[in-house]
Structure 1
Amino acid sequence: MIQVTRKTSISLCMIVRNEEKNIKKCLSSVRALVDEIVVVDTGSSDNTKEIAREFGAKIFSAAWEGDFAKARNISLEKATKDWILVLDADELISPKDHKKIVEFLSQTDAVGVALITRNYTPDSRAAGWKSVEGDEYAESQGWVGWYENFKIRLFRNNPKVKFSGKVHESVRDSLKSLGKIVALNVPVHHYGYFDKQSMASKGKVYEKLGAEKLNESNDWRACYELGRQCLHNGEVERALELFARATELNPNDFKSWFMLGSAYLLSNANDALDKAIEALNASLKINPNYNATYTNIGIAYAKQGKTKRAIEFFKKSISLNNKDANAYKNLGICYQSIGERGKAREAFERALELNPSLKGKIKLD
């Protein structure tokens, strides 16, 4: 274990319910990093609390009121250290990153720190998906790949800092007035998307809370979040309405345009492909470096029979992310459709190298 001289202290704050399968691994991963563990349990009927006690956690019970922010704020009130780290039970931080985190917190003048969340999933259609091939972290071994996003995970312990939002809760709004928020290139390893049964049961709950949040706030981010949840739940038309509304409320968010275009790819409307390309191009104008946008434009052109144009976009996507199995798979399909069997085989083989779970979905000539 790497030892570091501490100039600051950290409280881990968690909310949990029936997490006996996950919480031990989570707490083991940060035991040497944090100085205090605060766990707010919202009604576990398994051994979650008993396992947390083994790690010396301070455990508090709170009735679940259908509000993630409210539950998380209870945990913040119980924290006593300089900084707060927020994790869920199905997340880990590699011990190899402990020193980096402690040294950074000891030197920074920021009030909040965003870390990279690696969402592990075998579904290489996920936007920004990357294969685990060649990855340096032991925590990724045995998995297939991930897509990532930044979340504020660390922030100074200040009574003015509060979570807001019944779902997809964040401290962003309360931190803005207190100082700067910076990013640190350290991943949080998230494994929850492999539990399909759990994700399915949570999906409708998140949608209900997301709708309540939107009714209360009516802002673009709430539209975007609810749109993503509706799309995940298979409600394409409702998702389209929400993403369109998000782009109206904030025309400068590239991901809202990206999700609008991506949802059109799943729509049965006659002009859906043209609208998909239009929205995705709007996303590119804001952020030309997001490889998944090029992949989805390529898919739209391929569906329109514009194969050579589609190939150009798949190649561009791969130039930005050469670990995207979905881009290689679609490139292979295009080459196959125009009789370029050698190039198709090469693309398919690379897709299978990056994501072996595609075996059976790809036919090699």
Structure 2
Amino acid sequence: MTATPPRIAATLIMRNEARCIRRCLDSVRPHVDAMVVLDTGSTDGSVAIARACGAQVHHLDWPDDFAAARNHVLTLADADWHLVIDCDEWIVSGGEALRDWCAGPPRLGALCIRSSFDLPQHGGNALPSTRSWIARLLPRGVRYTGRIHEQPVSGLPVERIDLLLDHDGYEDAQAADKRDRNTPMLLAELRNDPQNPYLLYQLGKEAETARDYGRAADWYEQASARTPDGAPWTHGLLIRRLHCLGQSGASEQGIAIAGEQMPHWQESPDFFFVLGNLAMDRALAEPAHALTEWLPLAATAWERCLEIGERPELDGSVEGRGSHLAQHNLDVIRQQLALLSG
């Protein structure tokens, strides 16, 4: 007798997502057995679009708690496996691997989510993007905790699956409303759990997205002091902290921290890319030492990025830092060194 294949459902929380809900559902539909949407008060046509795409749409007044909303839609879906996806995300590749993966034993599936973001004076046609590995493929019975930046609670192992989602919710056009919502919720959570390093890290990310780099660096410093060894966000936290120190005029402190951390991140192009940026900041701050110390350090750091290459498996990595972004910076600095030497 042939075993019945496991039933897979995509679950979403939605409110006023007419901009992107069709893109999300169209990308998911070929790979799941059901799409279950929990609407929390849309007024923009999102519900009609979702239904036209073939989704089941249920309604709930917003509980001011993301875990509660996630858990409600998981209960409604009641599938063997749940693909948890946000409306501003969509499957880019790897969807065809879902069924084989879900035929395996119970575990949490960590997906790669590639988030594009705006940068001041960013050139080129494509926006830079960070890559994060997040547990979003959950077997029946796993539930969430946390009012915001909620996490699945389970003793099951976490295994990566080669499934890539793109996400555009951090771009400026979409991010402002989220910041107004997220930061107060995070601060409320922090009052209940003031030593939680993940909440501190997320507060830093919110401040960084708002380009309040000094405040972000402060949050990241607090998170760094409390983050346990081996935490999955360790790499992203360090890189973001160094970046924000440079952006807030504290490049000297950033260089000192990078020196302490360098032995641990010899295979991270992101680490050496940001180190190169910090060295450039020091060159501007100390022009007398630029040619003999800081510009050569920057060049060496970006050369190391190219030697390492792209490392998408590192949580919080930025696409291009092991390739074209480092090469661009290296070309610019070589021109500057040639001019100064001549």
TM-score (norm 2): 0.83
- Alpha-carbon distance in 1 for matches of 2:4, 2:119: 40
Q: Which residue of 2 aligns with 1:273?
A: 251
- Structure 2: distance between partners of 1:293 and 1:43: 42
Structure 1: stretches of 5+ with no match in the other structure: 132-141, 342-365
Letter in 2 for 1:288: Q
Describe the superposition over 1:272-298 as per-residue Cα deviations: whole angstroms up to 9, x where unpaired.
Answer: 222101223344333332211101111
Query: Are residue 216 (structure 1) and residue 213 (structure 2) matched?
Result: no
1:163 is matched with which residue? 144
Seen in structure 2, the aligned counterparts of structure 1 residues 57 and 254 have a Cα distance that, compared at 3 Å, is closer
Q: CA offset at residue 114 of structure 1?
A: 0.4
Q: Note the 1:75-154 alignment, pairs <5 A.
A: 75-94=73-92, 97-106=94-103, 108-121=104-117, 123=119, 143=126, 146-154=129-137
Aligned in 2, Cα 1:284/1:76: closer, same or farther, shift over 3 Å? farther
Post-superposition offset of 1:87: 0.8
Aligned pair in 2 of structure 1 residues 155, 260: CA closer, same or farther (>3 Å)? same
Three-state SS of the structure 2 residue aligned to 1:64 is coil
Paired letter, 1:15: I
* Matched position secondary structure for 1:265: helix
Q: Structure 2: any 5+ residue segments left out of the alignment?
A: 283-289, 311-319
1:34 alignment partner AA: V
1:37 to 23, 35, 38: 35
Partner of 2:297: 309
SS at match of 1:39: strand
SS at structure 1 position matched to 2:137: strand
Counterpart residue number, 2:180: 204
> Superposed, which structure 2 residues align to 1:1-365 within 5 Å?
7-94=5-92, 97-106=94-103, 108-121=104-117, 123=119, 143=126, 146-158=129-141, 161-171=142-152, 174-175=153-154, 177=155, 179-194=156-171, 196-217=172-193, 218-250=195-227, 252=229, 253-268=234-249, 272-304=250-282, 305=290, 306-321=294-309, 323-324=320-321, 325-339=324-338
Distance 1:78 1:212, change over 3 A: same
Structure 2 partner of 1:134:
none
Q: Deviations over 1:26-75 (max 9, x none)?
A: 11112121112211111100111111112332222112233222211111
Measured after TM superposition, the shift of residue 230 of structure 1 is 1.1
Give 1:54's aligned amino acid. Answer: A
TM-score in terms of structure 1 length = 0.78
Report the 3-state secondary structure (helix = DSSP H, G, I; strand = E; otherwise coil) of the residue aligned with 1:63. coil
CA drift at 1:250: 2.0
| Cα distance change of structure 1 residues 169 and 282 upon mapping to structure 2, 3 Å threshold | farther
Distance 1:330 1:296, change over 3 A: same
Q: Report deviation, 1:110.
A: 3.7
Paired letter, 1:18: N
| 1:82, distance to aligned residue in structure 2 (A) | 0.4
> 1:354 maps to what in 2?
none
**Cα shift at 1:145:** 5.2
Change (3 A) 1:125 1:289: farther
Per-residue deviation, 1:184? 1.0
- Tell me which amino acid in the other structure corresponds to 1:104: W
Displacement of 1:182: 0.4
Q: Which whole-Å CA distance do the structure 1 matches of 2:247 and 2:303 have between them? A: 22
The answer to whether the 8 A contact 1:35-1:81 is kept is: no
Residue 285 and residue 69 in structure 1: after superposition, are their counterparts in 2 closer, same or farther (change >3 A)? farther
- Which deviates the most, 308-317 or 256-265? 256-265
Relative distance call for 1:68 and 1:283 in structure 2 (3 A) is: farther
Counterpart CA distance in 1 for 2:7 and 2:54 is: 16
Aligned residues: 311
Distance 2:184 2:268 in 1: 30
1-side partners of 2:333 and 2:302: how far apart?
9
Aligned CA-pair RMSD: 2.5
Asked if the contact 1:261/1:278 (under 8 Å) is kept, the reply is no
Following superposition, the deviation at residue 340 of structure 1 comes to 5.7
Q: What displacement does 1:123 show?
A: 4.6
Query: How far has the Cα of 1:98 moved from its partner?
Result: 3.1
The answer to whether the Cα contact below 8 Å between 2:80 and 2:139 also exists between their aligned partners in 1 is yes
